[in-house]
Amino acid sequence: MDVGEGTGITVRRALELPGLRGGLPEVVTGADRLERTVRWAHAGEVPNIASLLKGGELLLTTGFGFGVRSADQRAFVRTLAERGIAALVVELGPRLTRLPAAVVDTARAAGLPLVQLHREVPFVAVTEEIHTEIVNGHYALLRRAEEVHRRCTEALLAGGGVPRVLAVLAGFADNPVFLETPDGRLLYAAGPGPEGTGPLQVWEGLRGPHKDTPPPAGTVVVDVPGPGPGAGPPRARLVLLPVRSAPAPVHRTAAERAAGLLALVLMQARQEEELAARGRGDFLTDLAEGRITARDAPAQARVLGFRPGEGPLLPVVMRLGDAFSPADGRWAVLARALTEELASAGLPVLLGVRPVEGRVPLLLGLRSAAERTPAADRVAAALRAAAERAGPPRPASRPPVVVVAAAGDWAAVPAGLAHAAQTATAAQGLPDDRPWYDARRLDTELLLWRLRGHPDLAAFVDRAIGALRDHDARSRPPLLPTLEAYLAHAGRKAETARALHLNRQTLYNRLARMEELLGTDLDDPQTVLTLSLALRARRHVG
């Protein structure tokens, strides 16, 4: 279906239909404008026919309304062109054996498609055929828009949220889509730009610096309705930029339907903060996984409101584990709480959320490397406070884990974010006795976590501490907690006894029993290393 801009068919398509094709149409002028949209077809012979038209019509005539004087003929064509009709189709016959020169010259000067028919055609049949084609085009457009609306609804019901709705719309339009606040602040971006560029790069070049000026021609802008009856201010707006292809009418229709869904979601949970945080989380994840280069990252981070100074950047990741599900409505509450708590940290912060992974990545701007520890203390406290404010965790869920990577420049940030994210996952289940973990000190834990599915790791744990595990399963007191405390205190027996609230002789008896079961010497450095690794590894082998 060759559907033109607006709601209709093109002049070219109308000429290809059987009704007009049977009249042997010849394009006299405006051959380069046959992609104009025919909104409706009309037949008429009166001199003032232009006053009865609204624009976009394909006008069929035998030329009775032209008049006989050249001035009248020029005025007739000029007024039709000014009215904005799509094309003028003249049937040659007894009234006109050829087109008057004044008609041809005026149509050519006005850029109006002028077509002459060399055979008689029934105008009623032609208009009926064109109107049927237009109505069918409307129906096809609505069906495509309805399909997109259905997919967007399914994405919401599946827990995909606003980001998934925007991704569906961007994929359908093959253009980047942006959700903005009414004053032009970017909330979320989805869809690819030209030649593999990301949506943030498109925003930076075409939209962000020019949000107070009219958008590029062809841009689709749709308001997301706000709360309350009547024509209240919009809650947000959808912007579809024509950077890969020119949007068609169906894309505006789909955007309008998607805007209705977005309005319901935003009104239900006030998700603007969560949506903006998801967008920043996507950026930080793309940076960590190499989809954004360190060279492009500073400009895209500025688009998202992150403007650090000249000092180092500090990647931090909080892992919520299974405390929140991806579709949990508390992510919106968490996003607001995180923003409020981190405001007190006094540092430039780029904060994101990743509900699917249960992760909160962020980037801090430090004044110097010496700020790393105090900044990590403040930020970790803010992150944990925000998690508590967001609501109680699900039963039996693990507490949040905060991991801080090494500080560095933009070139070091991707590796730092990736290291912190992986380490935060590996650290789940470690004793919750500190506000944050240094990623550099958990590399052994990360290595063991990466080997968690390997049968050799389970066999290693079995060989190293299997005898103690079997003992603890059938006898009391258990020996593994004593071994853990002994190794944690670097083999210092007096400190171990105090930590376990044991007298020294009891501790000596337990250590002797462990050496007997293991068949080894607990003072041997190699044995100590093996047992330390095995105690750590058992968390990852069940």
Residues 32-45 have pLDDT tens digits of 999 998 988 999 88
> Is there a domain that residue 153 lies in?
no
Q: Which among 441, 468, 494 is the end of a domain?
A: 441
Residues 130 and 58 sit within 8 Å (Cβ to Cβ): yes
Q: Mark whether 312 and 419 lie in a shared domain.
A: yes
Q: How far apart are CA 156 and CA 190, in angstroms?
A: 16
Whether 427 and 321 share a structural domain: yes
Contact 238, 259 (CB under 8 A): yes
> For residue 325, what pLDDT is reported?
74
Whole-angstrom distance, CA of residue 241 vs CA of residue 250: 15
DSSP state of 329: T
Residues 6+ apart with CB under 8 A from 186: 178, 179, 180, 203, 207, 208, 276, 279, 303, 304
Q: Please give the share of the chain, as a percent, with pLDDT higher than 70.
A: 92
pLDDT in tens, 451-508: 887 888 889 889 989 999 899 889 889 999 999 899 888 889 999 999 999 999 999 9
Q: Is the pLDDT of residue 423 over 50?
A: yes
Domain shared by 435 and 470, yes or no: no
Instruction: Give the separation between CA 123 and CA 22, rounded to whole angstroms.
Output: 12
| H/E element, 263 | helix 249-269
Q: How far is CA 420 from CA 126, 372, 404, 405, 509, in A?
A: 69, 15, 6, 6, 42
Residue 82 has pLDDT above 80, yes or no: yes
Q: What is the CATH number of the domain that holds 357?
A: 3.30.70.270
Structure token pair of residue 388? 């508590």
Instruction: Report the distance separating Cα 41 and Cα 56, nearest Å.
Output: 9
Percentage, residues of the chain above pLDDT 90: 36
Asked if 415 and 511 sit in the same domain, the reply is: no
- What is the C-alpha separation between 464 and 427, in angstroms, rounded? 22
CATH label of the domain that carries residue 201: 3.30.450.40
- Domain extent, residue 79, equals 9-133
Identify the DSSP state of 195: G
CB 323, CB 360: distance < 8 Å: no
The span from the first CA to the last CA of the chain, in angstroms, equals 60
Q: What residues form DSSP beta bridges with 360?
A: 318
Contact 347, 367 (CB under 8 A): no
Tell me what pLDDT residue 3 has: 41
Using CA atoms, how far apart are residues 457 and 449, in angstroms rounded to an integer?
10
Does the residue 231 lie in any domain?
yes
Regarding whether 363 and 318 lie in a shared domain, the answer is: yes
**In DSSP terms, which residues pair with 188 in a beta bridge?**
179
Strand partners, 220: 240
421 vs 124: CA distance, rounded Å: 70
Positive or negative, the Cα torsion across 417, 408, 307, 298?
negative
Q: In a 3-state reduction of DSSP, which class is residue 322?
A: coil
- For 202-218, what is the mean pLDDT? 73
Q: Looking at the domain assignment, is residue 181 inside a domain?
A: yes
Query: Where does 96-122 have alpha helices with state H?
Result: 101-110
Cα(375)–Cα(480) distance, integer angstroms: 37
Q: Per residue in 88-142, pLDDT tens?
A: 999 998 888 999 999 999 999 999 999 999 999 999 999 999 888 888 777 777 7
Cβ atoms of 457 and 328 within 8 Å: the answer is no
Q: Are residues 473 and 433 in the same domain?
A: no
Would you say residue 363 has pLDDT above 50? Answer: yes
What is the mean predicted confidence (pLDDT) over 291-313? Answer: 90
What does DSSP assign to residue 320? -
What span, in angstroms and rounded, lies between the C-alpha atoms of 36 and 11?
6
What span, in angstroms and rounded, lies between the C-alpha atoms of 171 and 10? 26
Does some domain include residue 168? yes
* Judgement on whether residues 176 and 239 belong to the same structural domain of the protein: yes
Are 412 and 488 part of one and the same domain?
no
What is the separation of C-alpha 424 from the centre of its chain, rounded to a whole number of angstroms?
24
Domain assignment of residue 67, yes or no: yes
Confidence grade of residue 542 (pLDDT, cut at 50, 70, 90):
low
Same domain, 342 and 431: yes
> How many angstroms separate the CA atoms of 150 and 353, rounded?
27
Answer whether residue 449 is part of any domain. Answer: no
Question: Which has the closest alpha carbon to 184: 236, 249, 148, 247?
Answer: 236
Over its C-alpha atoms, the chain yields an Rg (Å, rounded) of 36
Could you give the dihedral angle defined by the CA atoms of residues 29, 31, 32 and 35, in that order, rounded to the nearest 10 degrees?
A: 120
Residue 281 lies in a domain: no
Q: What is the predicted pLDDT for the residue at 7?
A: 58
- In the predicted structure, residue 73 carries a pLDDT above the cut 90: yes
pLDDT of residue 185: 81
The Cα 407–Cα 312 span in angstroms is 6
* Residues 420, 350 share a domain: yes
Residues contacting residue 91 through CB under 8 Å, at least 6 positions apart:
23, 60, 61, 62, 63, 116, 117, 120, 121, 123
Task: Look at residue 249 in the predicted model and tell me its pLDDT.
Answer: 80
Angle, in degrees to the nearest 10, between helices 70-83 and 101-110 = 30
**Tokens 């990736």 found at:** 418
138 belongs to a structural domain: no
Same domain, 314 and 436: yes
> In what side-by-side order are the strands of the sheet with 349-351?
349-351, 359-365, 313-319, 401-404, 437-438
Question: What predicted TM-score, i.e. pTM, was given to this entire model?
Answer: 0.57
Residue 313 sits in the same domain as residue 361? yes
The total number of structural domains in the chain stands at 4
